[in-house]
Structure 1
Amino acid sequence: MTASHALVVSLRKSGTHLLKELMTRSGYSLYGEVSAGPGELPEPAGDTLWRVLTMVYGEEELRRLTGSEDRTAVESAVAEAVDAFYGAWRVRLGIPWRGPAGEAPPAELVARTLARGAAGRFADTPGGVCWFLHHLEPHQVDERFLRDWLDTGSPRILFNYRDPRDVLVSMVNFLSGESGRGVGHFTDHRLYRDILRTARNVGERLTIALTDPCFPGADAFERGLWLLRHPAVCKVSFEDLVGPRGGGSRERQRAAVADQLFNDRAYSFHRGRIGAWREYFTPEHEELFEERYGAVLDAYGYR
């Protein structure tokens, strides 16, 4: 992927760390539901920075800013504008803020940016950034973004998924503390971490996951069907990317332009193998899964 703008929709526990590696190696900075770390986004400059400033501040504010000799104040105002601009796009794309409240983009400036022409077009965002989302739903996304995407094909959207049985097992293990690195800032992760701790064994945890409609990611595959079916979306699976260390093949990995992407140090990583669900599912779990997700297996080609 060589475009200056990219957007990845990676279902939770579907190998998001592999896509992070791929996009980072392709020269992108990461933003959204995952990031490379604070301060690693490219800083807008020149015309791009000026566009950002005009979307955040009014004419009088811009005059004061450009005429100010207080460099510290100017740098602070510029940084707040950039944060507000990215924050406005989080809202437009339906990405909730999950980090510490003190690090959130300035709410007043975000609201003002959204009111001032909805922060422009996606093409106006700084280049070299790959936006990561765990879902992208037409009824929650800014309609202008979807219209522009349909008309121009930009940004290139990549949709990543995985065998939903392995996703379920991975989520259960993750929330049960098997990764040993916490459950992050997702509220539903924290809720179900506590619930799963009441179960006596992994079998009971799987039963909870298969019978609770609010379990994290329970409807993610259904909500992603439009991405799977749309001809302009680039589809890639965990099984394509993981390679031989995760039970896949080198040929399939190379075909997905993702050689050497298996990073077992990634946050939330547990085991990352194809077909691990067979070690955990009992016949009862298979029956429960078939009743609830049989159509999903068919749609995504995992039958």
Structure 2
Amino acid sequence: MPYKYVEAEPVRTITKDGRRKKQEEILDELTRVPRDVIGWGYVDATNENASFLTQSGRVNYFIYRDPRDMLVSQVFFATDMHEEHGMHDFYNSLPDFSERLKVAITGIDRDELKMVSVKQRYEGVFAWLATPGVFCIRFEDLINQRAATLDAMLNEVEKTGYTIPTSRAKALSVLAEAIQPRKSHTFRSGKTGGWREFFTAEHKSLFKEVGGDLVVRLGYERDNDW
């Protein structure tokens, strides 16, 4: 493979103390990632970011997941796994998971506590989905259709003109073995569709009220009758 290693730290839009970085700060961090290193991060699809990342010779993967699973994961992570998360104290002040999930769906803007709604959060997803030069991948496909998804990812590498110096079968095997989600500090279950265990009829109704046909637009449902 044409890469030496994976960058340890992601490029983020928010600092540890909660400050939103300026565009020039984010672009500076992106430019500091060596070209032969796999960089990763959580960045917005601004014109500046997209223009830099989609330069010739680069391969970009954008991974997104079912927003319902994302919400459940976010609540567990902020409540139980990351004490420095901006929502940690507030989530723990609520009586139960059900109430926390409602806040995750609607978002909150109270005093210095701010979190966007699920609909606003996914505006950024649609921005990347519409960006040429970015190969978009559903998290669910990486889990449930791993071989086909990894094969498509390798195709993107070879479109740059680079020839992978091993058989496709060997390359796929190496990639599959390298996926070790349990080593991630955000790992909880590694499953898909787990939202069904936590969404009540009330949560479903609230999600549709706030997010509209979000899951339909993303291809997770055929209609809003779920």
TM-score by length of 2: 0.67
Query: In structure 2, what is the equivalent of residue 276 of structure 1?
Result: 194
Post-superposition offset of 1:288: 0.7
2:183 maps to a residue whose letter is: R
Q: For residue 233 of structure 1, report the CA deviation from its aligned partner.
A: 0.8
Alignment partner for residue 206 of structure 2, among 288, 291, 298?
288
Gaps of 5+ in 1: 5-26, 34-89, 100-113, 243-247
Question: Is the Cα–Cα contact under 8 Å of residues 135 and 220 in structure 1 kept in the other structure?
Answer: no
1:205 aligns with 2:100: yes
Query: How much has 1:32 moved relative to structure 2?
Result: 4.4
Please list the CA deviations of residues 253-288 of structure 1 after superposition, one character each: whole Å capped at 9, or x if unmatched. Answer: 011225242432320211121111000010010011
Residue 28 of structure 1 aligns to which amino acid in structure 2?
Answer: Y
Deviation string 1:144-177 (CA, Å, 9 cap, x unpaired) is: x644555x43432210001000000000111110
Matched, 1:131 2:39: yes
Structure-2 residue corresponding to 1:162: 65
Q: Which has the higher contact order (CA 8 A, sep 6+)?
A: 1
Confirm whether residue 229 of structure 1 aligns to residue 130 of structure 2: yes
Q: Contact between 2:181 and 2:190, CA under 8 Å: does it hold in 1? A: no
Letter in 2 for 1:254: A
Distance 2:69 2:41 in 1: 20
Task: Give me the whole-angstrom Cα distance separating, in 2, the residues matched to 1:98 and 1:295.
Answer: 33
1:195 corresponds to 2:90: yes
Question: Which of 148, 157, 171 is equivalent to 1:255?
Answer: 148
Conserved in 2, the CA contact under 8 Å of 1:31 and 1:130? Answer: no
1:256 and 1:217 mapped to 2: Cα distance?
30
Residues 42-72 of structure 1: CA distance to partner in whole angstroms, max 9, x if unpaired?
xxxxxxxxxxxxxxxxxxxxxxxxxxxxxxx
Going from structure 1 to structure 2, the CA distance change for 1:212 and 1:129 (only over 3 Å counts) comes to same
Partner of 2:115: 215
Question: 1:215 corresponds to which letter in structure 2?
Answer: M
CA drift of 1:290 comes to 1.2
* SS class of match (2:185): coil
Aligned CA distance change for structure 1 residues 279 and 96 (closer, same or farther; 3 Å): closer
The unaligned stretches of length 5 or more in structure 2 are: 18-23, 109-113, 151-174, 222-226
Cα pair distance change 1:130/1:147, threshold 3 Å: same
Distance 2:115 2:190 in 1: 20
Pairwise mapping of residues 29-68 of structure 1 onto structure 2 (< 5 A)? 29-33=6-10
Taking a change above 3 Å as real, the CA distance of residues 201 and 97 of structure 1, as seen in their structure-2 partners, is closer
What is the identity percentage for the equivalent residue pairs of Structure 1 and Structure 2? 27
SS at 1:236's partner residue?
Answer: strand
Question: Could you tell me how far apart the structure 2 residues matched to 1:31 and 1:207 are?
Answer: 33
Question: What residue is the counterpart of 1:106 in the other structure?
Answer: none
Is this contact kept in 1: 2:106–2:117, CA < 8 A? no
Distance 2:65 2:105 in 1: 17
Residue 22 of structure 1 is matched in structure 2 by none
Q: What residue identity is the alignment partner of 1:153?
A: S
String of CA shifts for 1:191-223, please: whole Å, max 9, x gaps: x11011111111111112222244377433111
For these two proteins, the number of residue pairs brought into alignment is 181
Match of 2:5 in 1: 28
Task: Name the CA distance, whole Å, in 2 between partners of 1:296 and 1:158.
Answer: 21
Equivalent pair of 2:65/2:140 in contact (CA under 8 Å) = yes
CA RMSD after TM alignment: 2.9
Larger radius of gyration: 1
Distance 1:96 1:30, change over 3 A: same
Tell me how far apart the structure 2 counterparts of residues 275 and 28 of structure 1 sit (CA, whole Å).
Answer: 32
